[in-house]
Amino acid sequence: MRVDLIIIILLGIVEGVTEFLPVSSTGHLILAGRLFGLPQADATFDIVIQLGAILAVVVLFWGRFMGVLRGLLKRDPGAIRFTRNVLLGFLPSAVVGALAYGAIKAVLEAPVIAPIVVSIALIVGGVLILVIERLSKRITANSVEAITWRTALGIGVLQCLAMIPGVSRSGATIMGALMLGVDRETAAEYSFFLAVPTMLGATTLALYKGRHELGDAHLTAIAIGFVISFIVAMLVIRWFVAFIGKHGFAPFAWYRIMVGAAALAWLLI
């Protein structure tokens, strides 16, 4: 993949900023690629550099993960519920992703269709966020451990919607959690934790499927994008949790609507 170093860095920044915000990192990468005039979208690059942002979650929540691991060894009920909820939330996307990988990759790399799908999904998703915030249910879970197995599985099913470019994995999981009675901060944290197995699985599958297309230049570009997205995501995650605690998700909804409308007008004119 022959892409300027500056463009690779910009794409890494875009990924790091948007991975955990409910605005669709994949959608932004597709639109950024079109804006920068890249000759062809690269689904493998887009998927793998997301793992850099996921690594930021592991680093920032290392103490939490180690606490869960120690709790599992001691058969602590809270640690068991935490692990169960993350695995149940991951399961639906693992199954659907494995079965529909070819179709998903084809949509992501469609030079004309993908940006239009992203633009429409950004607008529709923004409207849904506004509606869901107004209609969210009574709070029934204020920690990841307090989420029931049915709720975790339901959030996992909704996460599958993020396979449509522009929907947003974090947006689908967070809004799904709000609809099912999880509070804002817990919904965001659960989305972070759920991203680890989800994106690790997606990256492993993408690298395996695209292994014959990976050259030295491609791997170098992926490595640079990976590092940049990791650094930027480290800065964004803590800010995001504090921001939604004060302002909710409406600002992201309006951002989605404005970007989607502007992109759609740009693409169709």
SS3 182: strand
Q: What is the DSSP letter of 40?
A: S
What six digits make up the tokens of 148?
Answer: 């029931």
**pLDDT tens per residue, range 83-101:** 999 999 999 998 988 887 7
Q: How crowded is residue 127: how many other Cβ atoms within 10 Å of its Cβ?
A: 14
Distance CA 222, CA 42 (A): 11
Residue 42 has pLDDT above 70, yes or no: no
pLDDT beyond 80 at 116? yes
Is the pLDDT confidence value at 81 over 90?
yes
Q: Is the pLDDT score of 68 beyond 70?
A: yes
* Count of Cβ atoms closer than 10 Å to residue 66 Cβ: 10
Q: Rounded to an integer, what distance in angstroms lies between the CA atom of residue 260 and that of residue 266? A: 10
Residue 136 identity (one-letter amino acid):
S
Domain ranges in the chain are: 5-268
State the DSSP string of 66-79: HHHHHHHHTT-HHH
Mean pLDDT of the chain: 86
Please state the rounded mean pLDDT for residues 13-33.
87
The per-residue pLDDT for 216 is: 59
User: What is the average per-residue pLDDT within 197-222?
Assistant: 72
Burial class (CB in 10 A: 0-12, 13-18, 19+), 86: buried
pLDDT in tens, 132-156: 988 876 788 999 999 999 999 999 9
pLDDT at 1 exceeding the cut of 50: no
Q: Which residues pair with 182 in a beta bridge?
A: 141
pLDDT of 211 over the 70 cut = no
**In this predicted structure, what is the pLDDT of residue 78?**
95
Instruction: State the pLDDT at residue 215.
Output: 58
What is the pLDDT at residue 44? Answer: 66
Whether the CB-CB separation of 44 and 206 falls below 8 Å is answered with: yes
Encoded amino acid at 70, one letter: R
For residue 38, name the pLDDT band (cuts at 50, 70, 90): low
